[in-house]
Amino acid sequence: MALDTLAVTPLHQGPSFSKMPLRTEAWQKPGNLVKPPVPSKSKLTTIEAKRIMSVLDEAIYKVELVTLLSYAITHPEALEGMPGEGVAAAVREHQDLCQVLLGTIGDLQEKELQLQAAEDEEAEEEAWFQDCLAATAQLKTSLQPQMQKVRDSSRDILRLLLTDPPAARLLRLQALGRSPEAQRFIEGLEELRGFLFERLLTSPMEARDRAQFIQDITRRHRRNQEVIDALETELTARMKNRDSEVEKENFVIQELKNHLHQVLKFSESSLLRTKQEAEKQQKADSRASQARLAKLQQEILTLRSQYHNLVMENREAEQALRKKKYKVETEIENWIQKYDSEMSEKQEEYEDLDLIHKEEKLQLEELKLRHAVLVEEFSQILAEREVNAKKRMEAEREMLRMIRAATLIQAVWKGYLVRSMLKSKRKKRVKGKGKGKGLSQIKGKGLGQVKGKGLGQVKGKGQVKGKGQGLGKGKGKEKGKGKGKEKGKGKK
């Protein structure tokens, strides 16, 4: 049976060193090297390109997390410092699903091997063969749901890691546990990202230039390959010549080895003498080392006693520090309890104030409603007052007009009486001087009294002063005197 596998092939393979020719002369840099066209832009400007890069970056990030799940399953200590239990529980569940899937795959492979063996041996047990086929088919049908569960579990773990950045960061710290195949796959994705980034930065004109550049490089590669083939042919001929020379050199080397063997035989005697001298020197050195060892052991005993004394002193100091630490911890606990009690009191006080505040707020709302009603009533009262004031002003104006009309009628009437009196007096003036004198006195007094009173009454009300004055002007000396006196009284 064929399982779903992910094969990652290297994007770049190393050069074939067996086909590289040996150079005997110094290499000279050609002067007409063609440089590949470089994109004019260094950053992505379009939203589509940025979205493409963000999708690829997110995919690389997810692949990095998924490739570390196998390490996290086989090494549970990698998840010890992870905050929360969701990720660890999901990983354990994923491990159980993977074990179930691997068990199913093992059983299926075992059944397939049994079927192959039965087909090779042409077994006669037809019932057993049919049972084996049925079991194999059942395992195959149950394999796909289990694989789907493993995929769903991987997606769930990935979602949990994406929503929990600290856990994802802790898992990425285990990058050394990633398999070489997964690491090559991630490197291939990063290299693909570089190619894609460069392709998105390249404009259509630059793409055409790059295609032209690749064609030029291809033509140059063909020409260089022809040169390389010719050089390889020459190299093969030279290698044959070198092999013949190597054979000659090997013969010389063999002769030198025989000579060296003879030299070694002569050197064995000198080596034996040197060994004896070395043994003597070793004995002398061993005696000196034993004396030095005894001295060092004595120093070790002295240092051990000093160490024991220091340990006792440090223990006493440690006991004192522990007592001090216990005392400080007790004080801190007391302060914490005191703080908790004060905070509980403050909380109760705050709750009481909050209740009072809410009640006052409700009262304020009621007062606002009552205030709105009173404002509306006050505006109605003001409107009624304004209407009443207008009516009263109209009544006063009407009264003033009536008073003015009555005063005017009185003045006209009094003027008519004065003119009639003047006409009658003019008729009587022709009768004699004695009578005339008496009449003038009477006329002056009468006019002054009548006109002064009439004008004083009218002028006191401030309505028809001018008209009252205009009626008596230019009527004689006696009239003028009387008018002046009575006018003054009217003003008062």
C-alpha span between 173 and 64 (Å, rounded): 11
Structure tokens, 440: 């003038």
Please tell me which residue, 58 or 489, carries the higher pLDDT value: 58
C-alpha span between 177 and 167 (Å, rounded): 16
- Between the alpha carbon of residue 376 and those of residues 111, 124, 274, 366, 405, the distances in Å are 96, 110, 131, 15, 44
Please tell me which residue, 113 or 247, carries the higher pLDDT value: 247
C-alpha span between 450 and 460 (Å, rounded): 15
- Averaged pLDDT score across all residues of the chain: 75
Predicted TM-score of the model (pTM):
0.35
Helices (H) and strands (E) in the chain, counts: 10, 0
Flag whether pLDDT at 282 surpasses 90. no
C-alpha span between 87 and 84 (Å, rounded): 7
* Tokens 């260094």 -> residue: 42
Is residue 454 within 8 Å of 406, Cβ to Cβ?
Answer: no
Q: What is the pLDDT of residue 357?
A: 92
The pLDDT confidence band at residue 79, using thresholds 50, 70 and 90, is low
- Between the alpha carbon of residue 119 and those of residues 7, 135, 147, the distances in Å are 31, 16, 29
Q: What is the pLDDT of residue 374?
A: 92
Structure tokens, 74: 């086989």
- Between the alpha carbon of residue 407 and those of residues 412, 447, 456, 488, the distances in Å are 9, 19, 12, 19
Sign, Cα dihedral of 431, 433, 435, 438 = positive
Type of residue numbered 80: E
Structure tokens, 194: 């570089």
Flag whether pLDDT at 446 surpasses 70. no
171: how many CB neighbours lie within 10 A of its CB?
A: 24
Longest dimension (CA), the chain: 208
* DSSP label of 464: S
- The mean pLDDT value for 236-255 works out to 90
Please tell me which residue, 432 or 126, carries the higher pLDDT value: 126
pLDDT tens digits for range 108-148: 888 777 777 766 555 445 667 677 777 777 777 778 888 88
Flag whether pLDDT at 259 surpasses 70. yes
pLDDT tens digits for range 196-207: 888 888 777 777
Q: What is the pLDDT of residue 415?
A: 92
Rg, the chain, Cα only: 65
Contacts of 471 (CB under 8 A, 6+ apart): 411, 415, 418, 451
C-alpha span between 79 and 85 (Å, rounded): 10
Please tell me which residue, 168 or 455, carries the higher pLDDT value: 168
487: how many CB neighbours lie within 10 A of its CB?
A: 19
Contacts of 189 (CB under 8 A, 6+ apart): 56, 59, 60, 63
Q: Find the Cα–Cα–Cα–Cα dihedral 7, 9, 11, 16, rounded to 10°.
A: 180
Is residue 422 within 8 Å of 475, Cβ to Cβ?
Answer: yes
What end-to-end distance do the CA atoms of the chain give, in Å? 139
Determine the Cα angle at 160 with ends 155 and 161, to 5°: 95
The pLDDT confidence band at residue 271, using thresholds 50, 70 and 90, is confident
Question: Residue 259: which H helix or E strand, with range?
Answer: helix 204-429
- The mean pLDDT value for 239-244 works out to 90
Contacts of 59 (CB under 8 A, 6+ apart): 189
Helix axis angle, 165-172 to 47-66, nearest 10°: 60
Q: What is the pLDDT of residue 479?
A: 39
pLDDT tens digits for range 377-392: 999 999 999 999 999 9
Flag whether pLDDT at 263 surpasses 90. no
Question: Minimal CA–CA distance to 95: which of 109, 111, 79, 107?
Answer: 79
Task: Assign residue 12 a region (left: φ > 0; alpha: ψ between -120 and 50; beta: otherwise).
Answer: beta
C-alpha span between 173 and 175 (Å, rounded): 5
Out of 223-237, 345-359, 418-432, which region has the weakest mean confidence (pLDDT)?
Answer: 418-432
Structure tokens, 148: 């789907």
Please tell me which residue, 142 or 188, carries the higher pLDDT value: 188
Determine the Cα angle at 454 with ends 449 and 456, to 5°: 95
Report the percent of the chain where pLDDT is more than 70. 74
- The mean pLDDT value for 312-329 works out to 91
- The mean pLDDT value for 149-159 works out to 82
3-state SS, one letter per residue, for 335-361:
HHHHHHHHHHHHHHHHHHHHHHHHHHH
The pLDDT confidence band at residue 398, using thresholds 50, 70 and 90, is very high
Q: What is the pLDDT of residue 488?
A: 37
Contacts of 414 (CB under 8 A, 6+ apart): 450, 451, 454
